[in-house]
C-alpha cells in the first residue's frame, strides 16, 4: 500500500508558484532541527520517520513547518529528552504570559 507521504505520480492540480518567505518561528524550527542533528540528539532519518508516522490526517492538516515541529517534539518525547508533562506545563505557562510573543 502506498504511504500517505509518498506522493510521486499521484494526481494533483497546477503548481502554485508563489514564493513564501519563511517567518522567524518557522526558521527557528529549522534551526532547532539543525542543532539537534549537530548534537547527535536526533538523526535526519528519525525526523523523516517522525513525519511518516504522523498519520495522514495530521500530515495534510499541518503546514510544512508545523508537521516538522510535530515530528520533532514527538521524537524528543519518545527519546526521553523532554517529558509530556514538562511540555504541557510549559505550553500552559506560555499561554498565561501577558505578552507571550517575543
Partner 1 sequence: MSHDPADHHGHGDHAHGHRHPNQPDHDDTLTYYRKLEMAVRELLIEKNIISADEVRKVVENIESRSPEGGARVVARAWSDPQFKQALLEDATAACASMGFEMALYDVQLTVVENTPDVHNMVVCTLCSCYPRMLLGLPPAWYKSRAYRSRAVREPRAVLREFGLELPDTVSVRVHDSTADLRYLVLPMRPEGTEDMSEAELAAIVNRDSMIGTAVVAAPK
Residue nearer to partner 1 on the CB measure, 27 or 78: 27
Residue nearer to partner 1 on the CB measure, 43 or 78: 43
* Residue 29 backbone phi and psi in degrees, to 5: -60, -45
Query: Quick check: 16 binds partner 1 (CB under 8 A)?
Result: yes
> Is residue 36 within 8 Å of 42, Cβ to Cβ?
yes
Query: Quick check: 78 binds partner 1 (CB under 8 A)?
Result: no
As measured in angstroms, the least distance from the Cβ of 6 to partner 1 is: 6
Taking only Cα atoms into account, the Rg of the chain, rounded to an integer number of angstroms, comes to: 16
> Is residue 61 within 8 Å of 81, Cβ to Cβ?
no
> Is residue 47 within 8 Å of 71, Cβ to Cβ?
yes
Taking the C-alpha atoms of residue 21 and residue 52, their distance in angstroms, rounded to an integer, is 25
Residue nearer to partner 1 on the CB measure, 1 or 45: 45
Residue ranges in contact with partner 1 by CB under 8 A: 5-20, 22-25, 27-32, 34-39, 41, 43-45, 47-48, 51-52, 56-57, 60-66, 69-70, 72-73, 76, 81-82, 86-87, 90-91, 94-95, 100-102
Amino acid at each position: 500500500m502506498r504511504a500517505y507521504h509518498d506522493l510521486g505520480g499521484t494526481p494533483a492540480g497546477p503548481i502554485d508558484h508563489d514564493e513564501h518567505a519563511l517567518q522567524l518561528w518557522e526558521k527557528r524550527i529549522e534551526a532547532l532541527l539543525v542543532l539537534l542533528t549537530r548534537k547527535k540528539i536526533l538523526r535526519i532519518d528519525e525526523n523523516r520517520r517522525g513525519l511518516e508516522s504522523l498519520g495522514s490526517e495530521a500530515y495534510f492538516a499541518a503546514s510544512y513547518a508545523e508537521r516538522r515541529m510535530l515530528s520533532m517534539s514527538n521524537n524528543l518525547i519518545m527519546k526521553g529528552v523532554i517529558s509530556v508533562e514538562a511540555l504541557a506545563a510549559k505550553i500552559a505557562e506560555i499561554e498565561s504570559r501577558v505578552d507571550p510573543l517575543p
